[in-house]
Structure 1
Amino acid sequence: MFTIDKTKPVLVTGASGYVASWIVKQLLDQGYTVRGTVRSLEAKDRYRHLERAAAAGPGSFQPVAADLLVKGAFDAAAQGCEVVIHTASPFLGVGVEDPQRQLIEPALAGTLNVLDAVQKAGSVKKVVLTSSIAAICGDNADLQRIPQGIFTEADWNESSSARHQPYPYSKTLAERAAWTVAQGQDRWRLVTINPGFVMGPSLSPRVDSTSIATLRDFLRGRFAWGVPALAFGAVDVRDVAAAHLAAAFRADAEGRHIVVSEGGSLLGIAQAIEQRFPGRYKLPRRTLPKALAYVAGPGFGLSWRFIARNIGLPVAFDNTKSQTRLGLRYLPFAQTIQDHVEQLLADGLV
């Protein structure tokens, strides 16, 4: 039932995004026809790198304009596709003034709009949704309620809200809504990819990704005095893209998949940079006491509640399913960071 015809176009929403660009490139490298949605066909500078990738490989790229919040915007794009990969969703960790407008509405309404197009297109057999480990846990403190001491695909984020951790809340709402729609039909299968903090080289010189902005802050010396003891699940953007392709085309791919290579930390980012570029940047060499994080945190957009529930607390994720069912072999965290810095230098962004 879920054997995919690889000659049919693959729809990728938000195609010019940080993660989506790698998904598109890997599809193009394997000879697929990619129908990629972008906000505006006139803004060619935002997807020119995808056209270049298509020109250099065996695949082809078809840009299509679509707005997440416009009902019916994805209907035409989904027609004739057997695979839809929905990546488009805003990622804002700080600077959120209106969570409902900036995060929740586009994540939830956008997902429902795409799935409505899938329902209308009788051709679709597989939907791959870019979710997040944020839909599995909202804060590191959530681990304290997990008896086994490690998060699995069976866990859901129950601690986030529009006021506390609105981004994880938006991802949780969107994924839950997607499963509700999927379970109400039997024509197509939903598979979700739940990546950790995504880092690694970008295919475009854009700097509006939170991951990219974070690394640039390190290189500019913003954290030279020290960083909070924040642990997180990390993963290379190239591995995340590979997970989406495996989820799309492996006949046995089903359910949720935690996609995390290993535990990362803010200090670990600095150590990886220093290893490749010794003495070149003013990097932090220590973690700050939690008490000092309460003082400095608000200046970086961190609330006291976030600090209390995350700083200095461990977190762990079980990535077994992504390895056994999707065949992932993860790149080391240090290589991810170092390759990312190399890309920023090559593009003149630092």
Structure 2
Amino acid sequence: MNQVTQPGLGRSTVLVTGASGYIAGWIIQYLLEEGCTVHATVRDPNKASSVGHLLKMAENSPGTLKLFKADLLDKGAFTAAMEGCDIVMHTASPFVLEGFTDANEALVRPALEGTRNVLESVNACPSVRRVVLTSSVAAIYGDNCDIEKIPSRTFTEDHWNTTSTVDHNPYQFSKTVAEQEAWKMQQAQSRWDLVTINPAMVYGPSLTKGSQSASIDTLVKMGDGRLRTGVPKLTYGVVDVREVARAHVLAAFKPEASGRHILNAGELTMLQIAKILRGKFGKRYPFPTMEVPTFAVWAFGPLFDRSVSRDFIKKNVGYPVHFDNNRSKALGVRYRPVEETFTEHFQQILDDWLVKTR
């Protein structure tokens, strides 16, 4: 599925930032399978829980893995890792949705300055010819209600998030300003080009038990009973992590690749996701079976989950969203059924004992 057959791919040297991440792990596996030399940056190359799975996959592949220490906010930290690379895949970016007191320091500054630091190193490295940036549909739109401003009621790569701020949806804002900075820096020179991958909510099996994401947390809550009384009528796009990783490889090595690419296999409500899981795993787990009325979510939601504000509920619950994924299909991405994605993801959650088997 989504095989890359560009001549010379196996002779390429590729830098992958944030190599211990959920998406980055699959990218590195595919690159190593193709015979690439991968320069992988992490904050601590000696931390087994972060790099052990990468070292293991490199043992049984035709490619070569080299680990480098780098931090997003350290100027020049990526220079050594980038030496000799022709492709840079910048996946590193903070993904924190709660538990912080300063959104700018936790999210916006690392995303923006991290992107700037990486691309300044690209500007100083003459071998780099293309950068692939892991962005998000969060840079396309901020709240579901934003779709009402679009006549077609469908988000495309032409749209930008104009409603998020450091105070409202700071994660979405961080992804937006980071991608905008990347395009600004790319357009200021002519040696390297830029392709962005803008995935919807990413699901699917991880290559390490250490991965954390909002998608994993949602499935755990569905399986352990915290959402048994019902879920809000919240719709969002979903995509398999393996398709997202393949898209990065395709974007890197297809000469004609350019611009932004929405990665979305389909739009689902939380109840539809629960229905898929119930259909595969039966009644052994307390998956939600009903949607909570929106007025009740607005009244009581913030009392049960402090990370959910009434403003977010007002602007997202009850609004359907749709995405145009034709550019990703033209790139070569082939989407697997969402049922397969959720079944395999939840099975891994069970295997990792994040939800106890009943």
Q: Same fold (TM over 0.5)?
A: yes
Q: 1:229 aligns with which of 230, 233, 240?
A: 233
Deviations 1:294-326 (A, max 9, x none): 1232132111111111000011110001001x1
Matched ranges for 1:1-350 at <5 A: 6-298=10-302, 299-300=304-305, 301-324=307-330, 326-350=331-355
Q: 1:58: how far off?
A: 1.3
* Preserved contact between residue 75 and residue 117 of structure 2 (Cα < 8 Å): yes
- Runs of 4+ that moved beyond 3 A: 2-6
State the SS of the aligned residue for 1:48: helix
Q: 1:345: how far off?
A: 2.2
Q: 1:93: how far off?
A: 2.5
* Preserved contact between residue 93 and residue 167 of structure 1 (Cα < 8 Å): yes
How far apart are the structure 1 equivalents of 2:100 and 2:297? 20
How far apart are the structure 2 equivalents of 1:268 and 1:94? 25
| Bigger shift: residues 252-261 or 299-308 | 299-308
Q: 1:24: how far off?
A: 0.7
How far apart are the structure 2 equivalents of 1:97 and 1:264? 31
Q: 1:208: how far off?
A: 2.6
How far apart are the structure 1 equivalents of 2:334 and 2:211? 28
TM-score (norm 2): 0.95
State the SS of the aligned residue for 1:64: strand
* Preserved contact between residue 83 and residue 127 of structure 1 (Cα < 8 Å): yes
Q: 1:333: how far off?
A: 1.6
| Bigger shift: residues 192-201 or 265-274 | 265-274
How far apart are the structure 2 equivalents of 1:214 and 1:102? 22
State the SS of the aligned residue for 1:283: coil
Q: What amino acid sits opposite 2:352 in the alignment?
A: D
State the SS of the aligned residue for 1:278: helix
Q: Unmatched 5+ residue regions in structure 1?
A: none
Deviations 1:10-36 (A, max 9, x none): 100000100111111111111111111
* Preserved contact between residue 10 and residue 34 of structure 2 (Cα < 8 Å): no
TM-score (norm 1): 0.97
Deviations 1:228-277 (A, max 9, x none): 00000110000000000000000000000001110022112211111110
How far apart are the structure 1 equivalents of 2:347 and 2:221? 15
* Preserved contact between residue 219 and residue 281 of structure 1 (Cα < 8 Å): yes
The number of aligned residues is: 348
State the SS of the aligned residue for 1:258: strand
Q: 1:173: how far off?
A: 0.3
How far apart are the structure 2 equivalents of 1:316 and 1:259? 12
Q: Unmatched 5+ residue regions in structure 2?
A: 1-5
State the SS of the aligned residue for 2:282: coil
Identity of aligned residues (%): 47
Distance change >3 Å, CA 4–CA 71, structure 1 → 2? farther
Q: Over the residues paired in the alignment, what is the CA RMSD in angstroms?
A: 1.4
How far apart are the structure 1 equivalents of 2:239 and 2:267? 9
| Bigger shift: residues 326-335 or 233-242 | 326-335
Q: 1:215: how far off?
A: 1.5
How far apart are the structure 2 equivalents of 1:265 and 1:92? 22
State the SS of the aligned residue for 2:210: coil
State the SS of the aligned residue for 2:157: coil
